[in-house]
Amino acid sequence: MARENETIASALIANGVLTFGHHPKDGSPQGIFCANGQCSQCMVIADGIPVKSCMETVRAGSQILPLNHLPVLPENHPQSSFSPIPSLDIEVLIIGGGPAGLSAAIELGKLGIAALLVDDKQNLGGKLVLQTHRFFGSVDTVYAGTRGIEIAQKLENELAGFPSITIWRNSVALAVYSDKFIGILKDANEYILVKPKVLLSTTGAREKSLAFKGNTLPGVMGAGAFQTIVNRDQVKIANRLFIVGGGNVGLIAGYHALQAGIQVAGLVEALPECGGYQVHKDKLGRLGIPIFTSHTILSANGSDRVDSVTIAEVDRNFLPLPGTERTIQCDAVLIAVGLDPVSEFHQKALEFGLPAFTAGDAEEIAEASAAMITGKIRGREIALYLGMKSVEIPADWLKTANILKSKPGLNLEEDHPEVSSGVVPVIHCSQEIPCDPCSRLCEQELIRIAVEDIRDIPRFIGGEGSCKGCFKCLIGCPGLAITLVDYRKNPDFPVVSIPLEFGGDFLKPGDFIQLVDTHGDSLGEFSALAIRGGKAAKGTWILQAAVPRTIARSVAGVMVQGRLSNQPIDLYVNQVENETIICRCERVTAGEIRSLIQSGKTDVNEIKALCRAGMGACGGKTCFSLINRIFREEGVPVDKTTFATNRPIFMEVSLSKLAGMKDD
């Protein structure tokens, strides 16, 4: 059973199928990993054709088989006919319809420049369509305070008003060729050669893989895959999730999991502190998710799918400390250990002398808000390159881009207001990050952020009776880091209002709730007075509870999942490093690669030829970075190695399409 326009992968998972096949080399089970067409681990046979199940939609009556059931080719293939490959000249080709690509196309559309935007999905917006949380950044420049899915729709709607922009959906850019043509598979059916005067790559990023025992078990997946299946396709992919990586991606995914009714057993981060925004980390702590800093994953355990993870504390050199191991039950492991730019199209264009620009994560890994502003800037830069001398790039755009791309700054102590009467907003945000919705939403202008740099920490500057208690700052804060304390009815037991995003049926008046401070420490159990908001507040609810005056300004949230459900089990699985899979497609282990390096092989192309690492369907997109890690572990300097050569075609395509075959 499947829904219309649902991907095969989501349909299989919704029906309880997590193992999509078994690898022919060693029989290992295969399941979803990236859900973005970048790897080949979800390959299945659909009506006799091998396809990536995360990219192919279901059709009524289709027969889906695991990849180990390969079709038998006929001995005598019937004669086929071929058509000439069509070509198209265009001013600008934009590869990627995410936040950067859409923003650049809008700027080009405003100037009347003919551009073709191609994207491999039906819905434009890139990762925006997976983001259900409100965005940080600048309200004026990048829609801060608005949910990602809504930003994607806003950009798409704006782009639709420009006749000079052509959009090809479900169309995959395959390669950049030396004659400056770009091969594109349009509508997953027709192969077309496009020759632009300028190429703009806004192809985003792909998730990094991680080498540990059991890293290819069904249930181990990238954060993007998790968000795609859960947020976009509305399929509950797990019951109990464990997260590896404390950057913004991992922290946000943990929050999305709780919203989807998935318990989060924990999160590990190898560094002493999470690299993501403090408000994201605090939000998870308040909700009851245990966060293990200075820890790493040793193994994902299970036979046909994940049933637990083993983690351990690490020393200053990130080596596991013996005796600190613990194993925690879960049925899914989310990997969020960073991103690599999808830069091969841009690099090949430069190599072949095609004028090329890049924006968003394809240029530099940052937040989607930064991708939007850099996309706008590149649109103007391309116009200047094409000879439109009257075009200007506002200086504040460049300044804003640098601010939005910046890393989190100082983390200071919370500054609670001295006011203790009337209604008082308490801001639980104490880290320097680019964000200004709270100051823009207050009609009385009682929350101040420095105009010249929105990384300034917000402060309440009002006096007694100045705040009207309109809740706008609570509802619009992307970090859910503001509460209201109302002393008017009973100064000794003021009413605290707390923002939540868990639906109107999550709690009801009279329920007992455990209130916590910013760091997730319990302040006691109290009765919920009211639940307000919902649809009128665009998905945010306001929970109200009366608490003693002494703790009112410390209340920052409500615990969602209990801590007792996250205790370790009595099991430890030893890590066997040499058995760890490095190349998913060809099932090449770390030991095989390490042996070649120890024998003197320093050219990744030679290693590829000898053991087939990187020779699989994904073209080395997940394993080459792991091979470079083994070089470092073996003490081989980077300048003594030769990187793998990226050769087109960058994405899989049938030879029949490249040849212009009329019938399949």
Please identify which residue in the block is written with the tokens 């369907």.
617
Strand 43-46, strand 64-66: pairing: antiparallel
The answer on pLDDT for 573 being more than 60 is no
Q: What is the pLDDT of residue 280?
A: 95
H/E element, 17:
none
Domain boundary pick from 404, 433, 450: 404
Using pLDDT thresholds of 50, 70 and 90, give the confidence band for residue 335.
very high
Q: What is the pLDDT of residue 574?
A: 52
Q: What is the pLDDT of residue 633?
A: 87
Q: Count of domains in the chain?
A: 5
Percent of the chain with pLDDT over 70: 96
The structure tokens listed for 461 are: 């500057």
Using pLDDT thresholds of 50, 70 and 90, give the confidence band for residue 450.
confident
Using pLDDT thresholds of 50, 70 and 90, give the confidence band for residue 572.
low
Give the SS3 label for residue 255: helix
Domain boundary pick from 281, 304, 336: 336
Are residues 640 and 335 in contact, defined by beta-carbon separation less than 8 angstroms?
no
Q: What is the pLDDT of residue 575?
A: 45
Domain boundary pick from 559, 593, 608: 559
619: left (phi over 0), alpha (psi -120 to 50) or beta: left
What burial class does residue 165 get, using C-beta atoms within 10 Å of its C-beta: 0-12 exposed, 13-18 middle, 19+ buried? buried
**Amino acid of residue 316:** R
∠ CA 141-147-149, rounded to 5°: 105
> For residue range 349-406, what is the model confidence (pLDDT) as tens digits?
999 999 999 999 999 999 999 999 999 999 999 999 999 989 999 999 999 999 999 9
Identify the CA nearest to 279 among candidates 146, 484, 134, 452: 134
Are residues 184 and 173 in contact, defined by beta-carbon separation less than 8 angstroms?
yes
Q: Tell me the C-alpha distance between 376 and 608, whole Å.
A: 40
Query: How far apart, in Å, are the Cα atoms of 146 and each of 123, 133, 135, 156?
Result: 18, 8, 6, 15
Q: Tell me the C-alpha distance between 354 and 342, whole Å.
A: 18
Q: What is the pLDDT of residue 645?
A: 87
Most distant CA pair in the chain, distance:
88
Helices 624-633/604-611 angle, 10° precision: 110
Are residues 196 and 182 in contact, defined by beta-carbon separation less than 8 angstroms?
yes
Identify the CA nearest to 596 among candidates 621, 613, 616, 581: 613
Q: Tell me the C-alpha distance between 126 and 152, whole Å.
A: 8
Mean pLDDT, rounded, for 565-570: 57
**CB pairs under 8 A, 24+ apart, for 28-32?**
28/216, 28/581, 28/587, 29/217, 29/218, 29/304, 29/305, 30/67, 30/216, 30/218, 31/217, 31/218, 31/219, 31/220, 31/221, 31/305, 32/218, 32/221, 32/225, 32/229, 32/237
Residue 586 lies in a domain: yes
The structure tokens listed for 73 are: 């080719």
> For residue range 119-172, what is the model confidence (pLDDT) as tens digits?
999 999 999 999 999 999 999 999 999 999 999 999 999 999 999 999 999 999
Asked if 127 and 194 sit in the same domain, the reply is: yes
Count other Cβ atoms within 10 Å, centred on residue 180. 16
Identify the CA nearest to 357 among candidates 370, 367, 347: 347
Q: What is the pLDDT of residue 178?
A: 95
Asked if 364 and 309 sit in the same domain, the reply is: no
Count other Cβ atoms within 10 Å, centred on residue 83. 11
∠ CA 56-338-118, rounded to 5°: 40
Mean pLDDT, rounded, for 301-324: 93
Tell me 231's DSSP state.
Answer: I
What is the chain's mean pLDDT, rounded?
91
CATH number, position 246: 3.50.50.60
The answer on pLDDT for 225 being more than 90 is yes
Instruction: Tell me the sheet residues that pair with 516.
Output: 522, 557
Mean pLDDT, rounded, for 564-571: 55
Tell me 297's DSSP state.
Answer: E
The answer on pLDDT for 254 being more than 90 is yes
Asked if 477 and 598 sit in the same domain, the reply is: no
Asked if 186 and 257 sit in the same domain, the reply is: no
Residue 398 lies in a domain: yes
Asked if 442 and 529 sit in the same domain, the reply is: yes
C-alpha R_g of the chain: 26
Are residues 309 and 284 in contact, defined by beta-carbon separation less than 8 angstroms?
no
Q: What is the pLDDT of residue 650?
A: 85
Asked if 92 and 199 sit in the same domain, the reply is: yes
> For residue range 579-627, what is the model confidence (pLDDT) as tens digits?
899 999 999 999 999 999 999 999 999 999 999 999 988 888 889 989 9
**Amino acid of residue 345:** F
Query: How far apart, in Å, are the Cα atoms of 195 and each of 90, 178, 184, 192, 359?
Result: 6, 11, 11, 10, 20
Identify the CA nearest to 439 among candidates 215, 207, 137: 137
Asked if 444 and 397 sit in the same domain, the reply is: no
> For residue range 511-525, what is the model confidence (pLDDT) as tens digits?
999 999 998 899 999
CATH number, position 15: 3.10.20
Mean pLDDT, rounded, for 623-636: 90
Asked if 430 and 523 sit in the same domain, the reply is: yes
> For residue range 495-513, what is the model confidence (pLDDT) as tens digits?
999 999 986 677 888 999 9
Using pLDDT thresholds of 50, 70 and 90, give the confidence band for residue 576.
very low
Helix, strand, coil share of the chain (percent; to 5): 25, 25, 50
The structure tokens listed for 493 are: 């037991």
The dihedral of CA 628, 633, 636, 638: what is its sign? positive
Residue 565 lies in a domain: no
Mean pLDDT, rounded, for 327-344: 95
Residue 40 lies in a domain: yes
Residue 606 lies in a domain: yes
> For residue range 38-69, what is the model confidence (pLDDT) as tens digits?
888 898 999 888 889 998 899 888 899 997 76
The answer on pLDDT for 255 being more than 90 is yes
Residues for the chain: how many in total? 664
Asked if 43 and 94 sit in the same domain, the reply is: no
Residue 223 lies in a domain: no
Chain centroid to CA 368: 10
Give the domain range for residue 192.
87-205+341-404
Mean pLDDT, rounded, for 473-500: 94
Residue 216 lies in a domain: no
Helices 99-110/368-385 angle, 10° precision: 40
Residue 569 lies in a domain: no
Asked if 278 and 329 sit in the same domain, the reply is: yes
Q: Tell me the C-alpha distance between 354 and 219, whole Å.
A: 42
Mean pLDDT, rounded, for 564-591: 73
Residue 548: HSE in the Cβ half-sphere, 13 Å Cα cutoff: 5
Are residues 552 and 417 in contact, defined by beta-carbon separation less than 8 angstroms?
no
CATH number, position 599: 1.10.10.1100
Asked if 51 and 109 sit in the same domain, the reply is: no
Give the SS3 label for residue 558: strand
Q: What is the pLDDT of residue 93?
A: 98
Mean pLDDT, rounded, for 10-32: 91
Higher-confidence residue of 569 and 395: namely 395
Asked if 275 and 362 sit in the same domain, the reply is: no
Residues 9-26 as b or e (16 or more Cβ within 10 Å = b): bbbbbbeeebbbbebeee
**Amino acid of residue 521:** D
Residue 290: HSE in the Cβ half-sphere, 13 Å Cα cutoff: 15
Count other Cβ atoms within 10 Å, centred on residue 397. 16
Q: Is the preceding omega at residue 649 within 30 degrees of 0, hence cis?
A: yes
